[in-house]
Every structure is written in structure tokens, then in C-alpha cells.
Structure 1
Amino acid sequence: MNRPLVCVTLRGRTADEMARDAVVAKTSGADVVEARLDLLWTTEHRVEPKSSSDEKRNGDRDIIEVEISRLDLDAVDLDSALSTIVEAVDLPLVMSCRPERQGGYYPGTEEQRIEALRAAIKCGPRWVDLESDIVKSTRDDLLDLTGDDTGVIASMHSIDGTPPASMITQEIEDNQDLGDIIKACYETTNRTEGLRIFEAAWELRESGINTALMGLGPGGDWARIHAPLLGQFMVYTTTESGWHLAQQGRINASDVQTAWSLLEYA
């Protein structure tokens, strides 16, 4: 079975932080890195809740909460940030700028976000992430800019839960002509919903569609861990580590490759 590409979504809320994480991603065995430009307009503050002595004796772990604050649009010099990221990254690069309607943080209008994507495409990334719900005429204009060297990831990020496996499969098939890779990410509230994503990926494994299916929440990492078996093209990971990743449906880049080796997938 083929080994999927390992894509690390760069951590950080500034271009410099993303550039530093790109170095860590490379040492973790990443094939590709993703720069989520919408995160440049955010800051984060970690809130560590206090545990009682009884909880500590019982071995309970604290849940570290992260508060995310948003910046105004004019707080970021996008051209400078793009230059910093492009110069620092020496792996194939995915550029994305997720809108609020799909769980992102870009603070401007849709027209301004499209201009940010135009600027990203002009930097010549290996792939650009274009949401499947972008207006067709606008999407066509962006596609005209990509040329032969920049591929397109057609993405769907659902913040309204996980539909049945049959609906996920149908959605992927309906959108297969929108990009070179079809990415779908769903928020899961339980492992049953995580299994729906796994089932959809299994049904699509011989479809010939380059897929990247995943969940955020319980069971959301199953499609990532078993991606070689499911014939997935790309798996999104992080350089972050910790027990909390499994609860969030995410996985560390090194850990997923170790899992593939132990499962004799790759």
C-alpha cells in the first residue's frame, strides 16, 4: 500500500513562529507543511486550571484551555508575513486562509480573504487550499492564477457535526473535480461519528480520488492513523505532542509514522 504524504500544519500565530515550526516539522519527517494564514490574525493565551490534591493523587490530568483572541485586519502585514514564511520553508508548502464559516479566523470580508489567497498563490506554493463553497466565478479566477506548479486542495470543514458515511462519500464524489486533492474535516462529538469518517474513507479507497479525510474530536484520528490502509493521499498532523491530541482527533507527525510502521502499513 502507498504511504500518504505527511502534512504538518505549522504552529504559531506569527510568521516567525511558523518559520521556526517548519524546521521542527522537517526533523519530524514531514513531507509537506501548511501555513494557515488566518492564524496570523490571532493570539493565544493558555489557561491552566488548578487541580485539587485528590485529583492529583488519582492521576487525573489537567485540561489546558487555550483562549484565542482575534486581531484587527490592519494588525498584520500580509506581504511581509508571506515573504518570511516562503523564505524559511524548504518543504513543499500548502497555503490556506480559512474563513469563519468553516471554523477559521480571518477577520476581513470574503473579498479581502480572496485577495489574501491571490497574494498567497503569487508566492508559488506547491498547493493552495480553496474551499469548495467559494463562488464559482471567483474560484475560476483563482484557478487561473495557479499555473502548472501549484495544485489545488478543495476543502470542506464542517462545524455542524458529522453526517452519515454515505453523505460524506457523496460529498467527496460530488466535489472531486474541484481540486487535485479533496480534503474534508468534520467535528466529532463521539467515537461513532469518528467511525463514520473511517467508513467513508474505506468506501473511497479505490475511487481514484486523492483524499484527506479526518475529524476533530473523539475518533477523529482513526482515518489519519489508518490512512495507508484507507488509500488516503495526505494526512494532516502537528508537531505538538501530548495526551490531549487524541481527544481532539489530531496526531503528532512522528507518532503517526511510528503507528504506520508498527501496523506494517509503511
Structure 2
Amino acid sequence: MRLINIIPGRPLAVFLAVLPFALVFIAYAIGSDIRLTENPSDKLLPAPSTIWDTAVRLVSEGDKRTGRILFWHDTWASLKRLGLGIGISAGVGLIFGLLIGLLPLVRSGLSQFVAVLSMIPPLALLPILFIVFGLGELSKVVLIVVGTLPFLIRDLSQRVIEVPKELLVKAQTLGASTWVIAIRVALPQVMPRLIQGVRLSLGPAWLFLIAAEAIASDLGLGYRIFLVRRYLAMDVILTYVIWITLLAVLIDWALRYASRRFFPWAEEGL
């Protein structure tokens, strides 16, 4: 039997899914134990139990100066910036994706321009954004938009272009206007792709957010990581990294659930 034809059953699939995580954890635990055995005061690889104790302290104990639990304030600040940035990118990307994909005049005028914009490294623009928009919330949100919007526009416009021509011809034959075609024909076709595009943009969006918070912020997950790095507080850093990863996974799961819930035909075979 060829490997390409072997489909794992449910128990084996679960085991294979858990296996990489277990191996990473075991490798870390062994490495941490080796370093701590040689030097009990080593900070580079804290023991898993130390990370757990730190996590419990961060999520439950308030700051001695303000009384606030900074962990949750950092989380809210970062999620707010991320949500605004991704939300603006998704809305603007959907509009321009439909325009470029449906209207040849707009496609001729903007497709190459958007393609060039997508080649600009967003982090290289960070100093410019801080100069133009200041060091407040706006510059951080704008960086996420600048970093994710060109990709979404290109991806969505391509999906609109791929809409079967027969659908467009039939709609026009029935007297549909350009507006009706965009709303009733193209939009339903492109919405699953929008959710998929947002899912793919989450990784870069987190990167831009953490970079902006690390450089100019007084609150946020990225700010806290770069604040404690000077003390080599790896237990705090790893706790925040794990939390960011968990948040990203939960957001991705929610988007995929929404796609399956509202557009099951697009999720067939995934």
C-alpha cells in the first residue's frame, strides 16, 4: 500500500497532532534540566514549573504600584490594536478587491500600484509612521494596516477575477447592474476568501504589533516582553509568548469556525 493512500483513523490522527507538541515540551524540559543542574541560577531556560508559577502570578496578582493586573491590561491593549488594524484592512481590502476584480478600468489603474506597495517592507516604514502619526495608538494601527492591506487587496481581487464568467454574463442578461453584480454575485464568492485572507494575515499582523509596541508604547504584550528582557526574565517572556500563541490560535479557530458556519460550501474538503 502506498503512503499517499494511508488515512489515519481518529485516535492516530489525535496522537500525530499531539506528538510534535509533546516532543518540543520534552526537549525543552531536558534542556532546562541540564542547564539548571549545571547552574541552578541559570535564567535562560527556566523549568516548566517555574513558568507555570510565573503564569499564575501574572494573571492573578496586581501591580504593587497601581494595583492593576498588568497581564490583562496588556492583553486588552494589544487585542484592541490588532482588532482595529485587521478590521480596517479587511473592510478596505474587500472594497478595493471588488473594485479591482470587477472593473477593468480600476484594475488597470490600481493593480500594479497595489503590487508595488505589497513589496515595501512595512517595518521599514515604522520610523516614518511614528513621525507622521506620532507615538500613540494611531501609528501602531496604521502599521498593521500597511502591513496587511496590500496582501488582502491582491488576494481578494484575484478571487473576484476567478468568479466564473458565466455567472457575470447571466446576471447581466437578467438586467443586473454593476452594483447588483458586485453585491449579489461577487460578494458571496469572495467572503470565504476574505476570512481565509484574514487568517493568513494574523501572523504578520502580530509581528507588526509586537514591533510597534516594543519601540513606542507603555502598555501591551510586546511592550511587556521587551521591558523585562533587560532583566533576563525568561519565565515572564515565555509566559507572554505562549499567551500570544494561544490568542492567535483561538482567533484563527474562531475565524475558521465562522467560515464553516456561514460558508460550508467553501470549506468542503478542508
TM-score (norm 2): 0.20
The structure with higher relative contact order (CA 8 Å, sep 6+) is 2
TM-score (norm 1): 0.20
Larger fraction in strand: 1
